[in-house]
């Protein structure tokens, strides 16, 4: 089993590295967006699936990171990496604030609050159009002056892998244990000495920062930034990606994002029906495969594997 997984990673990795040379410009741009969504979905999975905080305000942080960086670079002419860093820090701070404010809220009330927060932010961005460009959009300085999206793709890939590495490290550390204990049973976690307050705020701060990073990357790639990126429907897309992939695994959520983003584009000819399809897929997954489709597929693979083994044992014995 292990060698199979390792082999898959190698193949996948090689494909990912060679991707820009295998596809045309259109699919390359899809790849860039896929990298973006993967970071967002993975960080949401970390917050909701792993730490158990079902926040629907995640896209607000993507938006915040994007607009912060875009506006700072536009007004103060600072280098883009600095702008993106400012976006990340802004999201970390605001994320901590949200985490703090939501401390006494559990479950659906946290979800409600964060959805409201997300919409308020979007409304402010739309209303203050002199500053933000409103619904018409904000022109954001592009990161690279290249004829193709190739540099964006590799940067996105690097950011994704870096984010993944950090998140995996967190998940396997004692912090990962504490996050999960809070998800499982907050009272028991407190009685076990886990500083629940600190870790709930941390969960928000960390995951919001990743969202801000993704947002900054997105803004400086897409060139025209609109408030839609922080809309509830975008949140729904990310939720679908993470849930269909699998919310309790960062990697599964990431794969879900990559898969869905490519699927969205592959089904472009179906127009708006794609969204209906994904909505239906989301509902079916929640209803019948709560741990995500990847976990389901893995189960099936394991079952096939053990059946083959017992059959071969039977053959040997018989």
Rounded Cα gap, residues 67 and 140, in angstroms: 9
37 lies in the binding site for another protein (CB under 8 A): no
Check residue 108 for interaction with another protein (CB under 8 A): yes
User: Tokens representing 7?
Assistant: 């082999």
Is residue 216 within 8 A of residue 88, CB to CB? The reply is yes
Single out the residue of 93, 275, 289, 296 in contact with another protein (rule: CB under 8 A).
275
Q: Considering only 26-34, 88-96, 281-289, 308-316, which stretch makes contact with another protein by CB under 8 A? A: 281-289
Q: Which two tokens stand for residue 76?
A: 């103060």
Q: Which member of 11, 165, 166, 184 binds another protein (CB under 8 A)? A: 184
Annotate the chain with DSSP letters as a single string.
-HHHHHHHHHHHHHHHHHHHHHS-HHHHHHHHHHHHHHHHHHHHHIIIIIS----S-HHHHHHHHHHHHHHHHHHH---HHHHHHHHHHHHHHHHHHHHHHTTT--HHHHHHHHHHHHHHHHHHHHH-HHHH-GGG-EE---S---SSSHHHHHHHHHHHHHHHHHHHHHHHSHHHHHHHHHHH-HHHHHHTT--HHHHHHHHHHHHHHHHHHHHHHHHHHHSEE-GGGGSHHHHHHHHHHHHHH-TT-HHHHHHHHHHHHHHHHHTGGGTTHHHHHHHHHHHHHHHH-TT-HHHHHHHHHHHHHHHHHHHHHHHHH-
Instruction: Between 276 and 313, name the residue whose CB sits nearer to another protein.
Output: 276
- Note whether 295 binds another protein by CB under 8 A: no
What is the C-alpha to C-alpha distance for residues 220 and 270, in angstroms, rounded to an integer?
29
Query: Which stretch, 38-46, 114-122, 212-220, 253-261, contacts another protein (CB under 8 A)?
Result: 114-122
Q: Which stretch binds another protein (CB under 8 A): 6-14, 78-86, 258-266, 273-281?
A: 273-281
Residue 302 touches another protein, criterion: CB under 8 A: no
From candidates 14, 195, 266, 301, binder to another protein by CB under 8 A: 195
Pick from 36, 67, 153, 178 the residue near another protein by CB under 8 A: 178
Query: How many residues of this chain bind another protein (CB under 8 A)?
Result: 58
126 binds another protein (CB under 8 A): yes
The answer to whether 113 contacts another protein (rule: CB under 8 A) is: yes
Q: Which residue, 149 or 248, has its beta carbon nearer to another protein?
A: 248
189 is a contact residue toward another protein (CB under 8 A): yes
- Looking at 36-44, 80-88, 184-192, 308-316, which segment touches another protein (CB under 8 A)? 184-192
Told to check if 5 binds another protein by CB under 8 A, we report no
Q: Tell me which of 2, 145, 191, 316 binds another protein, using CB under 8 A.
A: 191
Residue ranges that bind another protein, judged by CB under 8 A: 52, 54, 56, 101, 104-109, 111-113, 115-117, 119-120, 123-124, 126-127, 174, 177-178, 180-181, 184-185, 187-197, 232-233, 236, 239-240, 243, 272-273, 275-276, 278-280, 282-283, 286-287, 290
């Amino acid at each position: 089993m292990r060698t199979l997984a390792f082999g898959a990673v190698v193949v996948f990795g090689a494909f990912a590295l060679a991707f820009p040379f295998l596809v045309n410009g259109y699919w390359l741009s899809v790849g860039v967006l896929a990298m973006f969504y993967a970071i967002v979905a993975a960080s949401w999975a970390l917050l909701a699936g792993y730490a158990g905080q079902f926040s629907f305000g995640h896209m607000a942080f993507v938006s915040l990171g994007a607009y912060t960086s875009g506006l700072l670079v536009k007004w103060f002419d600072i280098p883009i990496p600095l702008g993106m860093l400012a976006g990340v820090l802004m999201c970390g701070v605001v994320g901590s604030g949200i985490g703090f404010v939501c401390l006494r809220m559990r479950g659906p009330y946290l979800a409600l609050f964060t959805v409201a927060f997300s919409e308020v932010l979007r409304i402010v961005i739309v209303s203050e159009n002199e500053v933000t460009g409103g619904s018409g959009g904000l022109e954001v300085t592009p990161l690279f002056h290249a004829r193709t999206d190739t540099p964006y793709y590799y940067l996105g890939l690097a950011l994704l892998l870096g984010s993944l590495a950090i998140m995996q490290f967190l998940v396997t550390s004692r912090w990962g244990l504490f996050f999960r204990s809070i998800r499982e049973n907050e009272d028991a976690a407190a009685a076990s000495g886990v500083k629940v307050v600190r870790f709930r705020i941390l969960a928000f701060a960390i995951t919001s920062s990743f969202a801000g990073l993704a947002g900054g990357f997105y803004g400086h790639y897409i060139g025209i930034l609109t408030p839609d990126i922080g809309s509830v429907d975008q949140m729904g897309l990310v939720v679908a990606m993470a849930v269909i992939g699998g919310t309790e695994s960062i990697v599964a959520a990431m794969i879900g994002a990559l898969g869905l983003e490519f699927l969205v584009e592959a089904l472009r000819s179906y127009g708006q029906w794609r969204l209906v399809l994904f909505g239906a897929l989301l509902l079916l997954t929640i209803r019948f495969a709560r741990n995500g489709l990847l976990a389901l597929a893995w189960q099936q693979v394991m079952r096939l594997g053990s059946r083959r083994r017992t059959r071969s044992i039977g053959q040997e014995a018989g």
